[in-house]
Chains A and B, each alone.
Chain A
Amino acid sequence: MINKIADSVAQALAGVQDGATVLIGGFGTSGNPIELIDGLIAHGARDLTVVNNNAGNGDAGLAALLKSGQVRKIICSFPRQADSWVFDDLYRSGKIELELVPQGNLAERMRAAGAGVGAFFCPTGYGTELAKGKETREINGRRYVLEYPIHGDVALVKAERGDRWGNLSYRMSARNFGPVCAMAAKYTVATVHELVELGEMDPEAVVTPGIFVSRVVKVPRVATQAGGIRE
């Protein structure tokens, strides 16, 4: 029998290794799997490379993970925000490495990893600082930059609904990076607010099929600001 349901976040994350590349869903606080990030802090794995669109907001979630000193490098598109003070301090004092990636490339590089694509030519960033040193090619009169996939050892994803096969659906724009993170990692953990019996999810509305998911953990809904719904 397939049962991907984990009893706790700690159980789901027990196997995370030092040095792992961790893909984390979310755009700002929307879709941010905060319980899994807290679980990773409690787990204590070190020397991590984290991939997320941002580099933490305020003092909780990803910001807290950065502050814990467990992260060696972050790959993201938009680290600087009004409330990114934790990252800002680490970056300015040389305690964290930054790879800045245009947002669409971040998503597509993860998608490529999940899809088994070796690399792809992309027009984004051609002729800019972010394409410096990268291979380029002109194809049918348009100029492209060669971009490589971003593979994850672990993906942490916040979903809305799931079942024991790992099928997932999301809630509104909290979906954002979740599905691409899920497919790009060897081991994907998703939180859900509703766990349902097999067959209860509308097969036409499954967004991430269970094949991309390793563990599902049920967590309570959190209030707005932290990325959940207002109760």
Chain B
Amino acid sequence: MNSYQKRSKTELAQRVAQDIFDGAYVNLGIGQPTLVANHLPAGREVVLHSENGILGMGPAPAPGQEDYDLTNAGKQPVTLLPGGSFFHHADSFAMMRGGHLDICVLGAFQVSATGDLANWSTGEPGAIPAVGGAMDLAVGAKSTWVMMDLLSKTGECKVVQECSYPLTGLACVKRIYTDLCTLECTPHGLRLIDTVAGLSHAELQGIVGLPIEL
């Protein structure tokens, strides 16, 4: 029996949201990162960027109000907040690549201790490749954060010495938020930010199998 409780998906989204500062321009990737928007602490004004050309993206519309000229990166209908704006794709990606976004939160298959990211392809033979904005996002934001379960469905740690899946970007991830811990990636390796209650540093190092600096 473990003496600790994993963070639920909601708790993980809350944990990430806690670190998003007032005034930040943020891109939330498709999938789990999207949940972060629902947990931004009250009183913080955060501007969400959507790669298809929106700043100031709001939540999903009420049923019946969907407008498919106003969609997010996952092609789901969204809304626009007062102050929001539209722009074309080259400008949208200039916002990423040009370092104008403060934070980008992405999912991942693997992250290396020094921040290499693998999140676009499992490299399976015969699979149809698709990259979208993953590589642009990874290298562009001032801080790229990954949000994922620490272990894969088959129990392997997704934080690794070196990624075995095809890379999305080199040394681009600053922080990894997981269901068990929050880690920082540095040029020298991992550093601990926090763990869930009841999980010791030594236990976590055992799970990850890599040194984690305190």
Contact = CB atoms under 8 A, between A and B. Distances in A.
Interface residues of B, number: 42
Interface stretch (B5-13, B31-39, B126-134, B143-151): B126-134
A29 interface: yes
A228 B80 CA distance: 17
Contacts of A129: 121, 166-167
A102 interface: yes
A99 B75 CA distance: 22
A176 B170 contact: no
A230 interface: yes
Contacts of B66: 224, 230
B136 A102 contact: yes
- What size tier do the contact residues of chain A reach? 35 or more
Contact of A175 (B51, B53, B167, B168): B53
A103 B27 CA distance: 15
B171 to A, nearest CB: 9
A176 B136 contact: no
B41 interface: no
A80 B128 contact: yes
Interface in B40-74: 50-54, 66-71
Interface in B75-102: 75, 80, 86-90, 92-94, 96-97
A131 to B, nearest CB: 9
Contacts of B90: 107-108, 110-111, 179-180
Contact of B128 (A79, A106, A207): A79
Nearest to A27: B52
B169 A127 contact: yes
B47 to A, nearest CB: 15
A80 B88 contact: no
A179 B184 CA distance: 39
Nearest to A226: B68
Given A125-B135, A130-B135, A172-B67, A100 B130 contact: yes
B172 to A, nearest CB: 10
Interface string A179-205: 110000000000000000000000000
Interface string B178-195: 000000000000000000
Contacts of B113: none
A124 B139 contact: yes
A122 B167 contact: no
Nearest to A126: B170
A130 B75 CA distance: 24
Contact of A130 (B86, B87, B131, B170): B131
Given A30-B75, A105-B136, A173-B86, A77 B131 contact: yes
7 contacts: A28-B71, A84-B128, A104-B97, A111-B90, A122-B97, A180-B90, A227-B68
Interface of B: 50-54, 66-71, 75, 80, 86-90, 92-94, 96-97, 121, 126-136, 139-140, 166-170
